[in-house]
Amino acid sequence: MEIFGVVNASPDSLAGFSVVSDQAAAEKYGARLVAEGADHLDVGAQASHGDAAFVTADEEWQIVEGPLRGLLSLDVDVAIDTWQVETARRALDAGACVLNAADALQTDQMIELAAEREVPVVLPFMLGPDPRHLKHVEGDPVQVMVDWFDLQLERAARWGIRERLMLDPGTGFAPPHWDWEDRFQYQKIIYTGLDRLRSFELPIYVPIAWKQTPDRLELIDLVLAQEVEYVRAHIPLQIRQRHAAIREGMPLPTSDLLTGYE
């Protein structure tokens, strides 16, 4: 399992501890994540929660350019996390080598860019135009997700990018404006059914929760036990420790909560 450590350039991010505002701060924070077990780094400048302010592509690039350059100095692969094609283009030009396509490649412009650049691409499950405006899933959420990926992968194959995709169940930002208990139950159903994505024979990429509660650690362990290929995590050291314990057959208690991640 490989970890994309999360660096946020958006001041709207709910994970305030991960927010950086310039090149030097990003380099320092990114180096810490790598030292704690991250294999790669992921940076974005547009928060995806439902209450986040929208920024234009020019504004997004002004916010993320310095942090991105700081991360690129660390000699690890860096993913640009955006749903705006111009931001993605500029970041790839600057040296980012993974596209975390937060628009789920729903525009021809974004999928054309992915095809043109021949980079690995994270494809998140998404019912709606962008992470802030999602439709709620009706019926069996795993079956809805599988059916959605089936259609999207047909389109990706026509663009010649299918084999470069990582499949993300979209739980990092969906569903919006739900009470946590409803979101927890939704994510538990999705994570329990992750093996159904194996039929596509592509790597699975899962965004990991950072808030420290027993039920969130339960979800993390559920994901880690399925040996997904990639996770996107704010606290890589915790993920490494919990993954190792699961592999050894001695999972850590879900009461083992870290402080400082409010």
Reading the block at residue 259, the tokens are: 């402080």
Q: What pTM does this model have?
A: 0.94
C-alpha distances (whole Å) from 61 to each of 14, 43, 45, 80, 254 are 20, 12, 8, 11, 39
Question: Which residues are CB-neighbours of 210 under 8 A, at least 6 positions away?
Answer: 6, 15, 18, 233, 234, 235, 261
- Quick: pLDDT tens for 57-66: 999 999 999 9
**CA-based R_g, the chain, Å:** 17
C-alpha distances (whole Å) from 83 to each of 55, 231, 255 are 11, 19, 36
d(CA 174, CA 59): 25
Residue 137 is predicted with a pLDDT of: 77
- Quick: pLDDT tens for 23-39: 999 999 999 999 999 99
Q: State the Cα torsion 128-78-204-260 to the nearest 10°.
A: -80
Q: Are 83 and 93 in contact (CB under 8 A)?
A: no
Domains recognised in the chain with CATH numbers: 2-247 (3.20.20.20)
- Quick: pLDDT tens for 197-249: 999 999 999 999 999 999 999 999 999 999 999 999 999 999 999 999 999 99
Residue 134 has pLDDT above 80, yes or no: no
